[in-house]
Amino acid sequence: MINRWYQYLTKRYTQREWTFMNYGFAHLNGEEKLPLHLSDEADRYCIQLYHHVAAPTNILNKDILEVGSGRGGGCFYIARYLKPKSIVGIDFSRNAIDWCNRIYSVPNLSFQVGDAMKIPFPDRSFDVVINVESSHCYQSMHGFIREAMRVLRPGGFFSWTDILWTRCMDKINHHFRHSGLRAIKEWDITPSVLRALALDHDQKLHTIRNLAPRFMWKFLKEFTAVPGTKVYKSLENRKRLYLSKIFQKV
């Protein structure tokens, strides 16, 4: 069901203003503000989630893959700010990939259609694989982790973040423990995600009301987890958690 809605949204809403689909990340303890160009400020919280995922993995001059690249904003940020040798975004949605290839023009950035269950690259193709807020839609978490490990080079990093039901944590952790990847670091970033959703509330409502017909507003509020929605409340009461993990292929 979620995948069908995603396909519809990527086809229906082609505005350049909508380049991110994640919930965002906001610092809680007065950390130094991430420096951004003025043109990127509107997407600050979504960008900060990508920075949290990507920056610790030594991306400079490396070959990077994002699985589930969506509308491409994360790849675009990484390509410009973190200076990888190359970054490829793959997504199952032809609509999303066609849109990204029209919108973005950066020499070290490319997009192509690809399935998380069968990543369309040879073994040992990448130094870093990232995955942001999309694995909960996949057919098999075990299958995805296996594929991510396959395309990583020895010593490479897999950096993952997603929302999940608390009751599913044991199953997810089981898949990671038996993946053959070495756990490097784990964060529960639920409070930072909730803060980002609250801080970004007004802008998200403005975007929804300006880009979507009225009959879509309720669905899009839930889809983007604005405060007061079921998704937001489930994070508040910790029935859902938002986790972030980094692993290394040894």
169-177 vs 141-151: helix crossing angle, rounded to 10: 30
Spell out the alpha helix ranges (H) of the chain: 2-12, 44-54, 73-77, 94-103, 141-151, 169-177, 190-199, 201-211, 217-223, 230-236
> Tell me, what's the pLDDT at 171?
95
Residues whose CB falls within 8 Å of the CB of residue 204, separated by 6 or more in sequence, listed in order:
221, 224, 226
Question: What 3-state DSSP class applies to 225?
Answer: coil
Residue 133 CA: distances (Å) to CA of 82, 160, 164, 233? 20, 8, 9, 18
> Tell me, what's the pLDDT at 5?
53
**Tell me: the pLDDT tens digits for 28-53?**
987 788 999 999 999 999 999 999 99
Q: The domain at 2-27+34-244 falls in which architecture? A: 3-Layer(aba) Sandwich (3.40)
Q: Is the pLDDT of residue 246 over 70?
A: yes
Beta strands in 107-180, from DSSP E residues, in sequence order: 109-113, 126-132, 152-165
> Tell me, what's the pLDDT at 213?
83
> Tell me, what's the pLDDT at 29?
87
* d(C-alpha 136, C-alpha 219), whole Å: 18
Average pLDDT over residues 102-124: 96
Residues of the chain with pLDDT > 70, as a percent, come to: 93
Residue 4: pLDDT band with limits 50, 70, 90:
low
**Tell me: the pLDDT tens digits for 175-191?**
999 999 999 999 999 99
